[in-house]
Amino acid sequence: MNKSELIRTLAEERKISMEEATDIVKIFFDSMKEALKNGNIEDIRAEIEAYITLEFYIWLYFVRVFELERSKGEKLLFRLL
Whether the per-residue pLDDT at 71 is higher than 80: the answer is no
Averaged pLDDT for residues 64-74: 72
Cα 24 to its chain centre, rounded Å, is: 11
DSSP, residue by residue, 15-74: T--HHHHHHHHHHHHHHHHHHHHHT-HHHHHHHHHHHHHHHHHHHHHHHHHHHHHHHHHH
pLDDT at res. 75 = 58
Contact 71, 59 (CB under 8 A): no
| Domain parsing of the chain, residue ranges | 3-80
Q: Tell me how far apart the alpha carbons of residues 71 and 39 are, in angstroms, rounded to a whole number.
A: 48
Averaged pLDDT for residues 47-67: 82
The predicted-structure confidence for 3-55, as pLDDT tens digits, reads as follows 888 889 888 888 889 999 899 889 888 887 887 788 777 777 887 888 888 88
Contact 44, 35 (CB under 8 A): yes
Whether the per-residue pLDDT at 80 is higher than 70: the answer is no
